[in-house]
Amino acid sequence: MNKLLIVGTVAFDAIETPFGKTDKILGGAATYIGLSASHFNVKSGIVSVVGEDFPQEYLDLLTAKNIDISGIEIVKGGKTFFWSGKYHNDLNSRDTLATELNVLADFNPVVPQDFKNADVVMLGNLHPLVQSSVLNQMTTTPKLVVLDTMNFWMDCALPELLDIIKRIDVITINDEEARQLSGEYSLVKAAAKIHTMGPKYVVIKKGEHGALLFHNEKVFFAPALPLEEVFDPTGAGDTFAGGFSGYIAQSENISFDNMKNGIIHGSNLASFCVEKFGTERMETLQKEEVQERLKQFKALTQFDIELS
């Protein structure tokens, strides 16, 4: 079985949307990535850090999804990373109410021996130096390295971010971040500029407006599934990245055509994530539901025009 190494936060989130609010619940980029990638036939492991306050049941939940948690360090007496946010009425924007780094402040990632030869590495949103450190520990060159990041690191650690971006194959960022990173408003031009920074593949996430995959002159687009209600967008981008990297790891095929499928799988899984608060929907999601919705994606996008 192919191996997928996931790096990212495992955290507490407190979320408020127009539909309600939660106390501290399970969150974090690596959590969402792992839950999403668990829908593929891969051996995945998370590198992260939590405090002693992190419930064993959350760790058990990951283990039950066949996610290797030996790379999740538990800091004695430490407190787990906590994020709190409130979404605006359109759910397209949010205010961060609290960010408590806690044990994340001194995180020194250690890749378990068994994952140093992972086939695919998914570097979830974290400090670029942490992402670099993980890549430095690999003993074999991964078939594909995917990086997710955000505007925060462009503001606070741009040189380090540019360093790691040079070393990866696929970058996934949202539209505003692509504009910030490239200085180009047009997403076509932004992708072209980001190509020159290193990544051969640029994925631009547009939330409810879908995602674009750029590779040189080629472009592919996957819509978000039109839903009656988006309940909570938290983790949708990470779920997308988990579906993409999980599928690629399983299929061992890094052609552009296969990456298209990865984008569809990512969008498909993300469409479930937003249906309930936090990880709730992903925890119970069944294989049959995933397959059924893939059919909806086909119906949504496939057409048959004869070309002359």
Contact characters 137-176, a copy of itself, x per CB under 8 A: ----------------------------------------
For residue 10, give the nearest of 86, 104, 92, 93 by alpha carbon: 104
For a copy of itself, the closer CB: 70 or 258: 258
- 112 contributes a contact to a copy of itself by CB under 8 A: no
- 289 contributes a contact to a copy of itself by CB under 8 A: no
Distance, CA of 115 to CA of 104 (rounded, Å): 21
Among 56, 76, 183, 307, indicate the residue that binds a copy of itself (CB under 8 A): 307
Only one of the segments 53-61, 92-100, 123-131, 222-230 lies at the binding site for a copy of itself (rule: CB under 8 A); that segment is: 222-230
Which amino acid, 41?
N
Q: Least Å distance between CB 230 and a copy of itself?
A: 8
- 260 contributes a contact to a copy of itself by CB under 8 A: yes
Only one of the segments 34-42, 122-130, 219-227, 236-244 lies at the binding site for a copy of itself (rule: CB under 8 A); that segment is: 219-227
232: its two tokens: 């909570």
Q: Least Å distance between CB 211 and a copy of itself?
A: 11
DSSP output for 48-89: EEEETTS-HHHHHHHHHTTEEEEEEEEETT----EEEEEE-T
Strand pairing partners for 74? Answer: 50
Among 35, 50, 203, 264, indicate the residue that binds a copy of itself (CB under 8 A): 264
**Which run of H or E residues covers position 290?**
helix 287-301
The DSSP bridge pattern shows strands 11-17 and 25-27 to be antiparallel
- 300 contributes a contact to a copy of itself by CB under 8 A: yes
Q: Least Å distance between CB 235 and a copy of itself?
A: 20
46 touches 8 (CB < 8 A) = yes
Among 261, 269, 273, 279, indicate the residue that binds a copy of itself (CB under 8 A): 261
Cα pseudo-dihedral 209, 210, 215, 216, rounded to 10: -20
Q: Least Å distance between CB 238 and a copy of itself?
A: 22
For a copy of itself, the closer CB: 134 or 264: 264
For a copy of itself, the closer CB: 150 or 294: 294
Q: Least Å distance between CB 257 and a copy of itself?
A: 7
Q: Where are the alpha helices (DSSP H) in 117-235?
A: 128-136, 151-156, 158-165, 175-182, 187-196
Among 97, 218, 255, 289, indicate the residue that binds a copy of itself (CB under 8 A): 218
Distance, CA of 224 to CA of 234 (rounded, Å): 15
Among 57, 98, 183, 257, indicate the residue that binds a copy of itself (CB under 8 A): 257
Contacts of 56 (CB under 8 A, 6+ apart): none
Only one of the segments 3-11, 66-74, 127-135, 185-193 lies at the binding site for a copy of itself (rule: CB under 8 A); that segment is: 185-193
Looking up tokens 């990865």, which residue turns up?
Answer: 262
Q: Least Å distance between CB 146 and a copy of itself?
A: 19
Distance, CA of 220 to CA of 196 (rounded, Å): 19
Give the total residue count for the chain: 308
Q: Which residues form the interface with a copy of itself (CB under 8 A)?
A: 89-90, 185-189, 206, 209-210, 212, 218-221, 223, 226-230, 257, 260-261, 264-265, 291, 294-295, 298-305, 307-308
